[in-house]
Structure 1
Amino acid sequence: MRRFDATQPLSEIVAGLNDWQPENLVAYASMARLLADEQLAGRLRISPRAVMCSSEVLTPEAATRIERAWGAAPFNVYAATETAGVASECRNHRMHLYEDLVITEVVDERNQPLPPDTVGARVLVTVLFSRTQPLIRYEMSDRLSLSAERCGCGLPFALLAGITGRAEDSLTLHSPSGDEVVVHPVVFHRVLEPLPVREWQVDERADGLHVLLGKPVSPQAIPPTQLAETLTRALRHLGAAVPPIVVEFVDAVPRTQLGKAPQIKAMRRNRRRDS
């Protein structure tokens, strides 16, 4: 096994992978999307048997690019630094909980259990294998929903219906009357994912929302004013008083110390350590 630091220049990672020729590729979802673009452009030339994405939400658009690059749909892995693996997809690409390793409770704001197909406010996890630092009903701000279905793959473990991200991934704006309007990341996914850009990030700052577009194929194909107007309409549809939106073209969006590229950077969120 060989590890590459996601904060390295992309060209160095591509050169290292071309030299290594991995049989399996495990990457943050945002990095896997970048590598898929490199493969499609012919600069990356690897043939992994499987691609696994973890630590970030894998959007349908990113999964499609990865499948185009390597001919097979990626496997999604749900994990956190504190718990290690919590769930992953089987051969049918359905997300199974690791019920023999972690007890996962999807709960509401009062820590009460929720029925299947209901997105929770948080997750409480109890790790069954950690003896050095036991975690009992440890709170994570991830938003999940359980499924009542059983999978045809033969695994006995329960299924997740969906992973929508963390509470920190949502923006909290206000309506004209002052009420809070929570904006789910999917609002931005719908507008920004189809764009011909390598990556994007919405950064909430004191002067408004800055939409960073990383290395677009053609900046002329993305009129900033038109994109800002499209986002403004989407946010107004939710009832939000929309702050100024500034569209910026950048070489690469900022990453965390661990190399993650959060698509939403909210100014008013309760920041939790990177995991």
Structure 2
Amino acid sequence: MATEGLFAVTCRQGGLHLAEDSVFFEFELAGEGLVTPLVTTFRRRTQIMARYRMNDLLRLSEAPCRCGSPLRCVDEIVGRMDDVFRLASPDGPVLVTPDVLRNAVLKADRRIDDFRLVQTGPDKVELSLPPTFADDAAAAAHEAVQALLDARQAVATVTLVRAPLPLETGRKLRRVEARLERAR
């Protein structure tokens, strides 16, 4: 369920099936086997959605679901398209998805349960952790993010910030976020 309506349901096997019986899906390639959907639905009574571009990054299943449904299955919802880090590399632009970034931080140390990772510039990334976290956990997370970016040959500097992370009640919590002005 999305704000815009029902787009997928789970089956008894745990697969997430797109509601292709009531919504027409088109997909734009986003790179690295990911797509972003455009949806069209004519069943709505108040406002028809025609080729509405969703902000989600999806990895679609290449195999049919074990439940036997003919509806397409989503293997993974990777994150939001506008939270993909776009960084330069010697071989051209590199896209790093929110799930990969989040996993790098969380796998660095089991004690980490809250953080913010923000791309603040074309080659700048800021990792914020509460000052209550152990210094070795913070250092491990910092090193893990920098190592991930280095492995992808991304030209970026990761800065570690130790500061309280206040709960923002005015919007949805986003631990990984790209705060860059879009070229117009």
Instruction: Please tell me the TM-score bracket, short chain as reference.
Output: 0.7 to 0.9
Report the structure, 1 or 2, having the larger helix content: 1
Query: Does 2:7 correspond to 1:105?
Result: no
Supply the AA of the counterpart residue of 1:199: D
CA distance in 1, matches of 2:41, 2:102: 32
Describe the shift of the 1:179–1:223 C-alpha distance in structure 2 as closer, same or farther (beyond 3 A).
same
Aligned residue for 1:267? 179
Deviations 1:88-141 (A, max 9, x none): 3222111111122211222237xxxxxxx9422x21101232121111121123
Calculate percent identity across the aligned residue pairs.
26
CA distance in 1, matches of 2:56, 2:106: 21
Supply the AA of the counterpart residue of 1:80: A
TM-score, with length taken from structure 1: 0.55
Aligned residue for 1:92? 13
In the alignment of these two chains, the number of paired residues is 178
Aligned residue for 1:185? 98
Equivalence map 1:239-258=2 (5 Å): 239-252=153-166, 254=168, 257-258=170-171
Where 1:199 maps in the other structure, the secondary structure is: coil
Describe the shift of the 1:159–1:264 C-alpha distance in structure 2 as closer, same or farther (beyond 3 A).
same
Describe the shift of the 1:152–1:236 C-alpha distance in structure 2 as closer, same or farther (beyond 3 A).
closer
Aligned residue for 1:136? 50
Where 1:136 maps in the other structure, the secondary structure is: strand
Deviations 1:49-84 (A, max 9, x none): xxxxxxxxxxxxxxxxxxxxxxxxxxxxxx3323x1
CA distance in 2, matches of 1:148, 1:241: 33
CA distance in 2, matches of 1:103, 1:247: 44
Query: Does 2:116 correspond to 1:201?
Result: yes
Deviation at 1:251, TM superposition (A): 4.5
Report the structure, 1 or 2, having the larger strand content: 2
TM-score, with length taken from structure 2: 0.78
Supply the AA of the counterpart residue of 1:212: S
Q: In structure 2, list runs of 5 or more residues that go unmatched.
A: none
* Root-mean-square deviation over aligned CA pairs: 2.9
CA distance in 2, matches of 1:118, 1:205: 26
Deviation at 1:223, TM superposition (A): 4.1
